[in-house]
Amino acid sequence: MKDKEVLSYLMDRYKKSNGKRKKMLYASILALRKRIPQKPKEQSEVLSIYNIYNCPCCEEGVGIYNIEREEWSYQNEYCPECGQHISWEGIDSE
């Protein structure tokens, strides 16, 4: 099963559960959501020579692109604050 399929299964089980099982499923769902890659959010206040990208979950910085040099200053695969997996696929920095 892929992560999204497992997440769907856990969500269905969560809705039908109660008590300790419901708490355990909730924790599992939160952890699994972090494994599913999400695109970073581009910061709205962009400095003149940088594109700044933040985690979609906690807003922590996950990447900075230097427009003048046309290179990444840094580009994290995971958020250093919350652990969210970051997908850079399709991010056009120019």
Tell the residue number behind the tokens 């840094």, with chain if given: 74
Whether the predicted model's global pTM rises above the 0.75 cut: yes
Q: What percent of the chain has pLDDT over 70?
A: 93
Range list of β-strands (E), 9-91: 41-42, 50-54, 61-66, 71-75
- Cα–Cα distance, 70 to 15 (Å, whole number): 47
Instruction: Identify the pLDDT of residue 74.
Output: 93
Helix (H) or strand (E) holding 42: strand 41-42
- Cα–Cα distance, 45 to 59 (Å, whole number): 13
At position 51, the amino acid (one-letter code) is N
| pLDDT tens by residue, the chain, 94 residues | 788 899 999 999 999 999 999 999 999 999 999 999 999 999 866 667 888 999 999 999 999 998 889 999 999 999 999 999 999 998 865 5
